């Protein structure tokens, strides 16, 4: 009798294991199914993707990033986001009306964006936070890695000069997707190529892969595992406060981590031969130089924040820099390069980062502290 019961238990658990294995294999099974898409040129697909920004949709997406960033003081959340897997539930009614839930094994953190405000819900602390004001420098957040958001940002940054070619179609999230490869025209860029697969009829991006120069594997890959068109529902897009839920408000600057101590807004009109791009009103403290995917950003930190970043980067393997009156560090990843420089003759610490190689940023940083601009 015992052996019969044991046999039944083994069969039951075998069925459970088989079910789990099938769920894990679903993406591979899905990608192996036949793909049928209407043929269109790369230019047509790019235009259709760019026109998809206002589409409403809902789905489940996962990003897998391997940037190799050090865990810097005040920027640990960014390092975790760009090195590892992020699981997200997504709803979008419009570009200024959406919700992204980041799921973990023990809790979730939800970000709500409405036309008039933004909110963050932390299920672990049962705390709803309203974010006030504008971000002086907004650090990357999970919503930036949702396939449509990342694809649109990269396509716009690449600009019309980037070369685009067709890729073989594939199935993504159960849908047939047309492929587009984007190759930057800037030789100084660390970005080798961007591959995007989109639903051809709507242009909605379903999967994005971004490769650094010399990298055989994508530095970041994000894709939908489930997605569909969606009729906006206010009950989903507006946070609901339940009994016992705590509520607070915070300024957007307080969420900028180590980058909330910005120095004066005086920055030069050009660096390393690259002209400064006009910043939005209210963001004069950040300088963006270059064009396309060969741009880099510059800002200046007051106080001890910059020195803490330099110290943390050195401890995590950054390459030390030293001059007659300054010290610094270089952090290099397959895609992002950053140079931090602190001079005894200039107040504060300069932070330069972007999709450019180390030599470009070092020349720009030394120009910043050498010229009396």
HEC string of 122-187 equals ECCCCEEEEEECCCCCCCCCHHHHCHHHHHHHHHHHHCCCCEEEEEEEEEECCEEEEEEEEECCCC
> How many whole angstroms separate alpha carbon 252 and alpha carbon 41?
42
Q: Which residue has the higher pLDDT, 197 or 137?
A: 197
If you ran DSSP here, which 8-state letter would residue 96 be given?
T
Query: In the numeric block, which tokens belong to residue 130?
Result: 């309203």
User: Do both 239 and 357 map to the same domain?
Assistant: no
Query: Is residue 1 a part of any domain in this protein?
Result: no
pLDDT of 298 strictly over 60: yes
User: Do both 77 and 218 map to the same domain?
Assistant: yes
**Structural domain boundaries, residue 110:** 42-252
Among the candidates 252, 285, 308, a domain finishes at 252
- pLDDT tens for each residue of 24-53: 444 544 544 556 566 789 999 999 999 999
Edge-to-edge strand ranges of the sheet holding 127-132: 163-172, 175-183, 191-198, 205-212, 220-229, 57-66, 83-94, 97-103, 108-113, 118-122, 127-132, 246-251
Among the candidates 229, 252, 275, a domain finishes at 252
- pLDDT tens for each residue of 186-234: 878 999 999 999 999 999 999 999 999 877 889 999 999 999 999 989 8
User: Do both 165 and 224 map to the same domain?
Assistant: yes
User: Do both 232 and 288 map to the same domain?
Assistant: no
What per-residue confidence (pLDDT) applies to 325? Answer: 81
Query: Is residue 59 a part of any domain in this protein?
Result: yes
What per-residue confidence (pLDDT) applies to 137? Answer: 60
- pLDDT tens for each residue of 232-262: 898 999 998 878 889 898 876 665 555 555 6
User: Do both 136 and 95 map to the same domain?
Assistant: yes
Among the candidates 199, 232, 252, a domain finishes at 252
Q: What is the CATH number of the domain that holds 143?
A: 2.50.20.10
Q: Label residue 373 by pLDDT band (50, 70, 90).
A: low
What per-residue confidence (pLDDT) applies to 23? Answer: 45
Q: Which residue has the higher pLDDT, 224 or 291?
A: 224
User: Do both 237 and 177 map to the same domain?
Assistant: yes
pLDDT of 348 strictly over 80: no
What per-residue confidence (pLDDT) applies to 20? Answer: 43
What's the number of domains the chain is made of? 2
State the pTM of this model: 0.82
Distance of CA 141 to the CA centre of its chain: 6
Query: Is residue 191 a part of any domain in this protein?
Result: yes
Q: What is the CATH number of the domain that holds 315?
A: 3.40.1000
Query: Is residue 219 a part of any domain in this protein?
Result: yes
Q: Which residue has the higher pLDDT, 31 or 78?
A: 78
pLDDT of 72 strictly over 80: no
> How many whole angstroms separate alpha carbon 109 and alpha carbon 361?
35
Q: Label residue 174 by pLDDT band (50, 70, 90).
A: very high
What per-residue confidence (pLDDT) applies to 16? Answer: 43
User: Do both 166 and 300 map to the same domain?
Assistant: no
First to last CA, the chain: 89
Contact 292, 154 (CB under 8 A): no
User: Do both 81 and 126 map to the same domain?
Assistant: yes
User: Do both 196 and 290 map to the same domain?
Assistant: no
User: Do both 336 and 242 map to the same domain?
Assistant: no
User: Do both 241 and 284 map to the same domain?
Assistant: no
Query: Is residue 94 a part of any domain in this protein?
Result: yes
Query: Is residue 162 a part of any domain in this protein?
Result: yes
> How many whole angstroms separate alpha carbon 200 and alpha carbon 164?
16
Query: Is residue 30 a part of any domain in this protein?
Result: no
Query: Is residue 12 a part of any domain in this protein?
Result: no
> Over the chain, what is the mean pLDDT?
82
User: Do both 49 and 110 map to the same domain?
Assistant: yes
């Amino acid at each position: 009798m015992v052996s019969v019961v044991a046999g039944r238990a083994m069969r039951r658990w075998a069925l459970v294991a088989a079910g789990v294995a099938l769920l894990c294999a679903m993406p591979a099974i899905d990608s192996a199914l036949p793909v049928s898409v209407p043929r269109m040129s790369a230019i047509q697909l790019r235009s259709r993707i760019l026109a998809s920004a206002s589409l409403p949709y809902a789905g489940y997406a996962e990003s897998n990033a391997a940037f190799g960033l050090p865990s810097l003081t005040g920027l640990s959340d960014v390092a975790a986001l760009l090195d590892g897997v992020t699981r997200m539930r997504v709803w979008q009614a419009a570009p200024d009306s959406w919700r992204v839930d980041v799921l973990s094994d023990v809790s979730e953190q939800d970000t709500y964006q409405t036309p008039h405000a933004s909110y963050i819900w932390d299920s672990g602390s049962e705390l709803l936070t309203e974010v006030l004001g504008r971000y002086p420098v907004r650090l990357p957040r999970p919503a930036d890695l949702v396939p449509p958001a990342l694809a649109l940002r990269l396509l716009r940054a690449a600009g019309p000069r980037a070369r685009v070619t067709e890729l073989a179609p594939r199935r993504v999230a159960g849908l047939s997707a047309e492929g587009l490869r984007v190759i930057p025209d800037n030789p100084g860029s660390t970005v080798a190529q961007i591959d995007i697969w989109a639903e051809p009829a709507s242009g909605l991006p379903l999967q994005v892969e971004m490769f650094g120069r010399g990298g055989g594997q994508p530095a970041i890959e994000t894709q939908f595992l489930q997605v569909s068109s969606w009729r906006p529902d206010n009950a989903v897009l507006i946070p609901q406060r339940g009994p016992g839920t705590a509520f607070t408000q915070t300024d957007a600057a307080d969420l900028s981590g180590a980058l909330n101590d910005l120095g004066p807004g005086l920055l030069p009109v050009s660096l390393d031969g690259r002209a400064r791009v006009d910043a939005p009103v209210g963001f004069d403290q950040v300088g963006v130089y270059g064009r396309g995917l060969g741009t880099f950003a510059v800002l200046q930190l007051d106080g001890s924040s910059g020195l803490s970043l330099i110290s943390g980067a050195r401890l995590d393997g950054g390459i030390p820099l030293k001059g007659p009156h300054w010290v610094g560090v270089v952090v290099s990843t397959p895609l992002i390069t950053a140079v931090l420089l602190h001079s005894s003759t200039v107040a504060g610490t300069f932070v330069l980062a972007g999709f450019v190689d180390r030599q470009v940023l070092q020349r720009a940083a030394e120009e910043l502290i050498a010229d009396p601009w």
